């Protein structure tokens, strides 16, 4: 399975007075524009997930929608386990439920996506640091037979994607 780990694009700054509204932070106009360009680059790289699973937070939902449209109207589903702070074991179980797919995209947040990548590659979420910038994408591929059975295909910084 190929897993594309996509961090949401740049979003509005967190509110100092209302931290509970973090879930509703939207992408900035600059973030939207950058993600449209990133999606075009992914299309040129022949990225074609069969499904996009996204965090339920607004900035991730918006990012997933832009990627889905840019790649040719890929189906998007919300996955609660992609919300910040979700249990890694629950997330990997949710991904395993899609084992029949060849390519799957996940849109979420740091440090959770980086911890997932480290777990899949090295067998432990703290074994290495995989830093995915806002609007960046990592490709890991392998199978879920056991931890550490995935390899890092590439990690594209947002500025790299925009230049492709």
Q: Per-residue pLDDT tens for 74-119? A: 999 999 999 999 999 999 999 999 989 999 999 999 999 999 999 9
pTM for this prediction: 0.94
Query: How confident is the model at residue 147, as a pLDDT?
Result: 61
Long-range contacts of 148-153 (CB under 8 A, 24+ apart): 148/120, 148/121, 148/122, 148/123, 149/120, 150/3, 150/120, 150/121, 151/121, 152/117, 152/121, 153/2
Please give the torsion angle defined by the CA atoms of residues 142, 68, 129 and 12, in that order, rounded to the nearest 10 degrees: -170
Beta-strand pair 103-108/150-156: unpaired
Query: How confident is the model at residue 20, as a pLDDT?
Result: 61
What's the chain's average pLDDT?
A: 92
Residue 21 has pLDDT above 80, yes or no: no
Considering the domain boundaries, does residue 78 fall inside one?
yes
Residue 146 has pLDDT above 80, yes or no: no
Q: What average pLDDT score do residues 121-135 get? A: 91
Domain that holds residue 85: 2-11+23-143
- Provide the CATH number for the domain around residue 117: 3.40.50.1240
Considering the domain boundaries, does residue 107 fall inside one?
yes
Query: How confident is the model at residue 144, as a pLDDT?
Result: 78
Q: What is the rounded CA–CA span in Å between residue 45 and residue 142?
A: 19
Total domains present in the chain: 1
């Amino acid at each position: 399975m190929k897993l594309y780990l996509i961090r949401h694009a740049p979003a509005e700054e967190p509110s100092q007075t209302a931290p509970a509204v973090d879930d509703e932070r939207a992408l900035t106009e600059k973030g939207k524009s950058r993600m449209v360009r990133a999606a075009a680059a992914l299309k040129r790289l022949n990225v074609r997930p069969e499904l996009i699973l996204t965090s339920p937070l607004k900035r991730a939902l918006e990012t997933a929608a832009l990627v889905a449209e840019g790649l040719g109207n890929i189906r998007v589903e919300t996955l609660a386990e992609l919300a910040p702070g979700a249990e890694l074991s629950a997330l990997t179980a949710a991904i395993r439920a899609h084992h029949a797919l060849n390519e799957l995209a996940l849109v979420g947040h740091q440090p959770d996506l980086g911890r997932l990548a480290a777990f899949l590659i090295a067998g432990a979420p703290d074994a290495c640091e995989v830093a995915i910038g806002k609007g960046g994408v990592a490709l890991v591929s392998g199978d879920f037979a056991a931890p550490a059975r995935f390899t890092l295909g590439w990690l594209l910084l947002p500025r790299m994607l925009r230049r492709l």
